[in-house]
Amino acid sequence: MRYSQMRWRRACVGLAAAAMLGVPASTGSAYGAPALEPSFSASSSTGTTDTEFPELTPAVAARLDTAVRQIMREAGVPGVIVGLSAPGKGNYVRAFGVADKATGAPMEPDLYMRIGSVTKTFTVTALLELVDQGKVGLDDPIAKHVDGVPNGDRITLRDLAGMRSGLFNYTEDEGFFKALTSNPQRPFTPEELLDFSFKHPVQFQPGEQFEYCNTNLILLGLVVEKAGGMPLKEFIEQKVVKPAGLRHTVFPTGTEFPSPHAHGYTNQTASGKVEDTTDWNPSWAWAAGAVISDLPDLRSWARTLATGTLLTAETQAQRLKTGPTTIPGAGYGLGIFNVQGWIGHNGSLPGYEALTVYLPEARATMVVLLNTDITHDQAEPSTLFGQAITRIVTPDHVFNLPVQASRPTPQPTSR
């Protein structure tokens, strides 16, 4: 990502009010069962060798509670939902803090949340399903499916899904920033988003390097629509969400937000002041970041995504093949990160952040959802929570993404 001294993302944040931090953690699970009640058999039927992973006893849960609360205090996070589980080890499901700063309503484990760039995992899964059906090929040039793309005869669908296209990231365009923040409820079309990108020269030739870019996903969304024969919303909900058994994952087309949901808070605003973004229109993120989900669905999706149950084994193997990146300890495949062994994606858009990952060695799932994207000491709050949790449960696999890697959302180079 390109940053300047006038970048959209502000690096500093004050502490939250003491009243918000005094809200106790919810101890119920998202399913209404005790948070530490094991839900898996202690024996493995897969033959997989388990990595060292502690039993999620009350003592371990207390350590996790302390670590999460500490991050909340330090980073000024209003509310956060955490779900952690591994076969035979039990579940840790907690909600901390508040879902609405105005009313003080507590965060709950089953609230709907905007998940930002975790959306990319759904869009790329849709694309890969079409690959399995023979309707598109990963090595197709994007020009075969979408006209007018700079370097379109050389950029492949694989380049786009792997963040190696060289196209300019539309969310770094100053005009885009002004258009969004001047009227956050306005709708954007995919074509408008691409216009913000295509007025800039390509950054490098396809395949030469890794650079996170939302423009890539807008193009892939158009490919899914054309090859799939229906709007992206319908394809993802019918061909990805439903077969995956997800019941609370939706692709909004406007400002709609199922209830109950948490309010989101950001300083990525025209004034730089913190605002409530709950009703901002996510159409600007579309295939790159518009999806809404909840903890139960994302816990299931993390496993589905990493194990490839919706794809052929061959296609899943291609998805998980990671090329070099500039991110220490992390690789990027086709719409998916591998960070110290944790496979999945993070997401961030004004007011919300998400982390949805799976560790195959332990068959462990970790989901973190929070209602702010305000960084602390130039670090994403979702990454801070991921680090703190994994230092306790998987010290050999500590999740870490630097801020540049985990800002898959609007960040123009100047105001």
Angle at 255 between CA 285 and CA 348, to 5 degrees: 40
Assigned domain for 38 exists: yes
Determine the 3-state secondary structure of 324 from DSSP.
coil
Which DSSP state fits 118?
Answer: G
- 């060289």: which residue's tokens? 166
- 92 is a domain residue: yes
| Beta-sheet strands, E only, within 196-334 | 265-266, 275-276, 292-293, 330-332
- How many CB atoms neighbour CB 48 within 10 A? 12
213 inside domain:
yes
CB atoms within 10 A of CB 402: 17
Strand partners, 26: 95
What is the chain's pLDDT, residue by residue, as a tens digit (415 residues)? Answer: 322 222 333 222 222 222 222 233 333 332 222 222 222 222 233 333 456 899 999 999 999 999 999 999 999 999 999 999 999 999 999 999 999 999 999 999 999 999 999 999 999 999 999 999 999 999 999 999 999 999 999 999 999 999 999 999 999 999 999 999 999 999 999 999 999 999 999 999 999 999 999 999 999 999 999 999 999 999 999 999 999 999 999 999 999 999 999 999 999 999 999 999 999 999 999 999 999 999 999 999 999 999 999 999 999 999 999 987 888 889 999 999 999 999 999 999 999 999 999 999 999 999 999 999 999 988 999 999 999 999 999 999 999 987 644 444 444 333 2
Q: 140 vs 131, 194, 319, 356, CA distance in Å? A: 10, 19, 16, 29
Query: Helix count (H) and strand count (E) of the chain?
Result: 12, 11
CATH code, domain carrying 139: 3.40.710.10
Report the pLDDT value the prediction gives residue 138, as an integer from 0 to 100.
Answer: 98
Residue 402 lies in a domain: no
pLDDT at site 403: 61
* pTM of the model as a whole: 0.87
State which amino acid sits at residue 119.
Answer: T
Non-local CB neighbours of 306 within 8 Å, separated by 6+ positions? 336, 343, 344, 357, 358, 360
Q: How far apart are CA 89 and CA 42, in angstroms?
A: 7
Amino acid at 248: H
Q: How far is CA 315 from the centre of its chain?
A: 22
Closest Cα partner for 158 from 335, 403, 29?
A: 335
The structure tokens 């409820």 sit at 185
CB 386 within 8 A of CB 364: no
Task: Determine, yes or no, domain membership for 403.
Answer: no
- 284 Cβ contact partners less than 8 Å away, ≥ 6 residues apart: 171, 176, 180, 188, 193, 410
Residue 196 domain flag = yes
**What pLDDT was estimated at residue 327?**
82
Those residues whose C-beta lies under 8 Å from the C-beta of residue 71, and which sit 6 or more positions away, are 77, 381, 384, 385, 388
What is the DSSP code (8-state) at residue 98?
B
Closest CA to 299 of 353, 245, 221: 245
**Total residues found in the chain within this entry:** 415
Domain count for the chain, please give it.
1
**Are the beta carbons of 400 and 387 closer than 8 angstroms?**
yes
Which 8-state DSSP code applies to residue 202? P
CB atoms inside a 10 Å sphere around CB 302: 27
Asked whether the beta carbons of 141 and 153 are under 8 A apart, the reply is yes
In a domain, 126, yes or no: yes
The helix/strand/coil state of 15 is coil
Is residue 124 classed as helix, strand or coil in its secondary structure? helix
The whole domain housing 354 covers 18-393
Q: How many CA atoms lie within 13 A of 195 on its CB side?
A: 9
Q: Looking at residue 236, what is its pLDDT?
A: 98
Looking at 38-134, which runs of residues are DSSP E strands? Answer: 79-86, 90-97, 113-114
Would you say residue 4 lies in a domain?
no
CB 112 within 8 Å of CB 354? no
Task: Return d(Cα 415, Cα 411) in angstroms, integer.
Answer: 10
* pLDDT, position 36: 27
Strand pairing category for 113-114 and 292-293: antiparallel
